Amino acid sequence: MTERLVTWLNRVLPRPLDPVRSIKVKLGVLLVTSGTAGLSYFWYAIGWLPPLTSVTAIGLALLTSQVLAHGMTSPLREMTAAAGAMARGDYSRRVRATSRDEVGELAHAFNKMAADLAAADQRRRELIANVSHELRTPITALRGVLENLVDGIAPTEPAALRTALAQTERLSHLVADLLDLSRLDAGVVPLRRTQIDVADFLDEAAEHAAATAAGVGRDVRFRLDPLPASLTVYADPARLHQVFANLLDNAARHSPAGGRVLVSAEERDDHLHFEVTDEGEGIPVAERSRVFERFTRGDRSGGGGTGLGLAIAHWVVELHGGSIAVLDPHPGSHPGCRIRVSLPHPTHS
């Protein structure tokens, strides 16, 4: 009710000082006008008013208001200058925010907005640079293969065609990942949750990953730990499949020939904990907090991924209210990479 009243008053009350372009002048006009109105009533009530004293008092009040208004309006002028700099692409300008009034709060909010815009601009520049780099690599390789085939340098045989196909698939995956990220950032990907049987879901994901690995000549075995038949999760099947497709593909890509990828799940602490473990070189501790950032592959970049799969997996898991992290290998096991996905239990989601 109070908010509606304030909105109504803001709409119906006049704004006679809007044409004045300086807030300092507005404050001076406000002070002089209100002071003159008070003196006029005083003059009317007692029938006499010392003219010189009245004019001097009004002049002193006007001078004092201008001196004090300088500190009040300085953040506003700084914000105007900083906004102009932002329009030119300079997000480094900040406003001195020392007052505790509404102008000070506005200055703090302006500084936070400037910092957010600077971070967004930096991410945009990094994204453009990374996408350009990621696109250049497969395009250059594909162009080289096709030029050799057209010029007759390389014979048209299955090996050359498979190389061209692999680069084309890499481009396709990169474009698909970029489209997914754009949809995720825009928040236009709603979750269509349903009850999922965990055993059937993981078995299907492992079969799909095994077929994909075999199709590109990777000698990797996928093993699924026995799971209770009643284990279920309330999630979006398509998005959850995307998570495990990325995790299993990464595990297969970084596993040695004849290596094994282990997939397990258990219910604990009102959550379902999924784990994907490979027998590869693992991820250094210093890089584990960054592997879920876009285009971050660290020392595991030799497999030819786009650097976006784990970023998408991280986003999807968080959208489900869960978490994803890189853990230390199990004691006494092969020193590979172990990633855990934790999702809320259906009865607690």
Residues 6 or more apart whose CB falls under 8 angstroms from that of 75 comprise 95, 96, 97, 99, 103, 104, 106, 107
Residue 156 three-state SS: coil
Q: Would you list the DSSP string of 218-249?
A: --EEEEE----TT-EEEE-HHHHHHHHHHHHH
Asked if residue 37 has pLDDT above 60, the reply is yes
More confident residue, 180 or 279: 279
Asked if residue 56 has pLDDT above 70, the reply is yes
- 302 pLDDT band (50/70/90 cuts)? very low
Asked if residue 176 has pLDDT above 60, the reply is yes
More confident residue, 235 or 18: 235
More confident residue, 34 or 13: 34
Q: How far is CA 81 from CA 21, 92, 99, 102, in A?
A: 16, 12, 19, 19
Mean pLDDT across the chain, nearest whole number?
76
- Residue whose C-alpha is closest to residue 33's, from 68, 5, 62, 76: 62
Q: Contact 278/252 with Cβ under 8 angstroms?
A: yes
Residue 88 is inside which H or E element, if any? Answer: none
Residues 6 or more apart whose CB falls under 8 angstroms from that of 316 comprise 184, 236, 239, 240, 242, 243
Mean pLDDT on 94-108: 78
Give the domains, in start order, of the chain with CATH numbers.
2-93 (no CATH), 125-186 (1.10.287.130), 194-344 (3.30.565.10)
Q: Contact 254/272 with Cβ under 8 angstroms?
A: no
Asked if residue 94 has pLDDT above 70, the reply is yes
**How much is the pLDDT for 134?**
62
Asked if residue 104 has pLDDT above 50, the reply is yes
**How much is the pLDDT for 294?**
66
- Buried (b) or exposed (e) across 42-72, using 16+ Cβ within 10 A? eeeeeeeeeeeebeeeeeeeeeebeeebeeb
Mean pLDDT on 86-97: 84
d(CA 30, CA 91): 36
**How much is the pLDDT for 341?**
92
Asked if residue 259 has pLDDT above 60, the reply is yes
Asked if residue 349 has pLDDT above 60, the reply is no
Mean pLDDT on 289-299: 65
Mean pLDDT on 178-187: 66
**How much is the pLDDT for 342?**
92
**How much is the pLDDT for 168?**
79
Asked if residue 298 has pLDDT above 60, the reply is no
- Residue whose C-alpha is closest to residue 79's, from 52, 118, 114: 114
> How far is CA 153 from its chain centroid?
46
Q: Which tokens in the block code for residue 306?
A: 């786009």
- Residue whose C-alpha is closest to residue 330's, from 270, 264, 272: 264
Residue 261 three-state SS: strand
d(CA 312, CA 18): 50
**How much is the pLDDT for 72?**
67
Q: Checking DSSP bridges between strand 323-327 and strand 194-197, what pairing results, if any?
A: unpaired
Q: Which tokens in the block code for residue 75?
A: 């953040």
d(CA 312, CA 342): 15
- 88 pLDDT band (50/70/90 cuts)? confident
Q: Would you list the DSSP string of 2-14?
A: HHHHHHHHHHHS-
Residues 6 or more apart whose CB falls under 8 angstroms from that of 325 comprise 288, 339, 340
6-20, 28-42, 176-190, 299-313 — which one is most confidently predicted on average? 28-42
Handedness of CA 207, 213, 216, 219 (dihedral sign): negative
Per-residue pLDDT reduced to its tens digit, 136-165:
767 777 777 777 777 777 677 777 777 777
**HEC per residue, 300-336:** HHHHCCCCCHHHHHHHHHHHCCCEEEEECCCCCCCCC
Asked if residue 87 has pLDDT above 80, the reply is yes
Task: Tell if the pTM clears 0.75, that is, is over it.
Answer: no
Q: Checking DSSP bridges between strand 194-197 and strand 232-235, what pairing results, if any?
A: antiparallel
Mean pLDDT on 62-66: 69
**How much is the pLDDT for 306?**
53
Asked if residue 303 has pLDDT above 50, the reply is no
Residue 43 has phi, psi (to 5 degrees) of: -65, -45
Which of 197-201, 227-231, 319-323 shows the lowest mean pLDDT across its residues?
A: 227-231
More confident residue, 261 or 21: 261
**How much is the pLDDT for 286?**
77
Q: Could you give the percent of the chain with pLDDT greater than 90?
A: 3
**How much is the pLDDT for 68?**
63
- 6 pLDDT band (50/70/90 cuts)? low
**How much is the pLDDT for 300?**
45
